[in-house]
Every structure is written in structure tokens, then in C-alpha cells.
Amino acid sequence: MAIHIGKEIKAELQRQERGVTWLADKLHCDRTNVYNIFKRQGIDTRLLERISIILHRNFFTLYCKEDSDDVEKHSTDV
């Protein structure tokens, strides 16, 4: 299943009980930009790194998990 990183970021922000304005302030951008991030399935790695640091969560591990699941699936197919 493909990762929708925007939904993951939004869920983490809600889990931490933080608002869109808070994240926008930390990213030094408009709130509308944060709402646009929530809509994205993909994201620039530099921006994801910044968000990971701000929210104290390594979002890159989501992609590593998906890759390891694919490897396991393919290794059992052989």
C-alpha cells in the first residue's frame, strides 16, 4: 500500500495535539502551505526532514517499513 505522507503528517500533528498554525510558524510558512502538505502523497526530502525534526518523529521510517515488506513478499515468491 502506498504511503500518503500528508495524511501521516496530519495524523501526527493531531496526535501531538498541535495546530496547523503552530506547524506553519515552525516551518516559517503560511497555514495554507501546511494544508497543501496534508494533501500531498509525496514530499521533498528536505521538507520531510524539517517536519520530522519539528514533530520529533522520523517519517522516513515509514518508507523503510514499506521497502522491507516488499523484500519479504518477493523473497517468499522465489
Cβ neighbours for 44, distance < 8 A, ≥ 6 positions apart? none
The domain locations on the chain are: 5-77
Q: Percent of the chain at pLDDT above 70? A: 82
Chain segment 10-30, per-residue pLDDT in tens: 999 999 999 999 999 999 999
DSSP letter (8 states) at residue 59: T
Whole-prediction pTM value? 0.82
Cβ–Cβ < 8 Å for 33, 24 = yes
What is 5-77's CATH topology?
Answer: 434 Repressor (Amino-terminal Domain) (1.10.260)
